[in-house]
Amino acid sequence: MQRKQFEDSKTIQRLMEQLDGKRNLWVEFHKSPDERAQAWEMFSRGQPPVTESTSTAEDDLQEWQPQGTTKDHGYPMSSIAAMPPISGSQHNARSVSQAPHGEYGASRNHPKAHSVSSYDAELERTRGVPATSDHGSPRPRNAGTSALVVASKPGDEAAALLWNADFAKLFDVILRFCQKYTGSSSHKGFYQGVPEQNPSSWRNICEVLYPQSQMGASSNQAHLLTDDSARPYFVQRLIIQMITVGVFEYEGLSGFNDRTNKELQDIDSRLAATEVFKPHERLALVDRRAEIVKNLFSHPSWKAFYAYKKNNFLAKLRPTVGAIIPTNLKSDLREQMSWDLSEATDEAWKLAAKLWQARVTFKYIWYAYGEKFQVDNHHALNSNLDAAILEQRQARLKLAATPAVILRNDQTMAIMAKRVMKADVLVMS
């Protein structure tokens, strides 16, 4: 009995500390004496305070108007639907049509998890992988390796598996698209001429993949583009890297109105800063972002704004990807390619809707050409050797096709960071 009373008192103490922390955070945000006085007066009347940095949904979300038109380049656009809520996995759009793919393991970087019944089918799905060949084409992954940064409770492991399945589904849709349109070995001459024939597009590709040293990486990327086994993964990385920046981050929500832009940008910069926050301070920022996003999704102008943002993103993505798609494809196949790319982007926005509303934050780590293989961070697609042996032999990376995804949970008193999935990589033979 005494032990239970002691545990209850400790729990109450923790809750009081969190409340004190949130109150201090509110005071830090609202330093103006007039603003505080107005807020306390509204609190005393039982009304929520409305300040310059904390506004109601009606004030926040004025009617959105496009700030300019974006050329559609004549590509078809899929219908725009309302964003899904955070609860559950709601991936209902069709996948890339009839792309060739093979069998894969039970889950991406995770063992089977029968405790998560709603995701059993998701974790049993297949994933596209070319057939094994003598020159190093990808082979099936070795399922069952641990992907956690720190030890966690079974419930935390299940949550990581849910996010793993969501990211894996998007990455697989993109990979199947890349295999369908860039996996053929009959266009080698076209790929060899891309850097010279499309210099501006090639420069953009280099800037996306290696923003710090695009000129030095150009020759390596040209080699990957002409390698039949590596090319689909090279294009996959290009698309995913553009999505993580243009959809998942602040850029994906910017532009609704000035007030929302300012607050979202402030939250994004504070979460990304190296400044040390207490867990409840970060959680308050994450919750405020989720509140803003929820209000955006319920606003009458959201569908029009979403169509504008998606069309804007596709206007950047299509020319970049189109520069490395063979020009002699039949017209109907190129039209289908445009539809498939649009639907892959739809999947990205669906996942982004869940990321923005989650009470956790994510970090995407990209690994560069020539880095050493690491068991904890990488999964080799083109080697049958055990990961520990690759690390022992100091194998070098040829390409990182996907990022390592790290989840940070500030809902507990101690900071919890987990690796949701390892980076899919090709290693040098």
Residue 41 corresponds to which tokens in the numbers above?
């007066």
β-sheet bridge partners, residue 421: 405
Please report, for the chain, the start and end positions of each structural domain, with discontinuous segments joined by +: 2-54, 117-427
* Cα(30)–Cα(182) distance, integer angstroms: 54
User: From CA 39, how far away is CA 35, in angstroms rounded?
Assistant: 6
- The CA distances from residue 280 to 25, 301, 372, 413, in Å, are 9, 32, 36, 8
Token readout for 310 is 């998606």
User: Whose CA is closest to 179, among 95, 254, 119?
Assistant: 95
pLDDT above 90 covers a percentage of the chain that reads 33
For residue 108, is pLDDT > 70? no
Cβ-based neighbours of 261, under 8 Å, separated by 6 or more: 254, 255
Nearest by Cα to 74 from 411, 318, 308:
318
pTM exceeding the 0.75 threshold for the entire prediction:
no
Candidate from 222-226, 371-375, 414-418 with smallest mean pLDDT: 414-418
The answer to whether residues 250 and 265 touch, using CB atoms and an 8 Å cutoff, is yes
User: Is pLDDT at 29 greater than 80 in this prediction?
Assistant: no
Residue 423 and residue 399: Cα distance in Å, rounded? Answer: 10
- Residue with the larger pLDDT of the pair 103 and 270: 270
Q: Which residue has the higher pLDDT, 89 or 297?
A: 297
Q: Which residues pair with 399 in a beta bridge?
A: 426
Size of the chain in residues: 429
> Is 208's pLDDT higher than 70?
yes
**Coil, strand, or helix at residue 311?**
helix
- What pLDDT does residue 222 have? 84
Distance CA 168, CA 115 (A): 19
Burial class (CB in 10 A: 0-12, 13-18, 19+), 187: middle
pLDDT given for residue 102 in this prediction: 36
SS3 at position 197: helix
Which pLDDT tens digit goes with each residue over 276-333? 667 788 889 999 999 999 999 999 999 999 999 999 999 999 988 888 888 776 677 7
Q: Which residue is it, tokens 């494809």?
A: 329
Average pLDDT over residues 81-91: 44
Two tokens, residue 115? 């405790």
C-alpha distances in Å from residue 212, one per residue of 194, 206, 217, 320, 413 = 22, 10, 10, 19, 37
Q: What is the dihedral of CA 362, 368, 370, 376, to 10 degrees?
A: 0
Rounded to whole angstroms, how far apart are CA atoms 385 and 404?
A: 20
**DSSP 8-state symbol, 252:** G
Task: Examine the pLDDT at 12 and tell me if it is beyond 90.
Answer: no
Say if residue 69's pLDDT is above 50: no
- For 371-401, b/e burial (b = at least 16 CB within 10 A) is eebbbebbbbbbbeeebeebbeeebebbbbb
Q: Determine the pLDDT at residue 413.
A: 60
pLDDT on residue 393: 94
CA 86 vs. chain centroid, Å, equals 15
Tell me which H or E stretch contains 398. strand 397-400
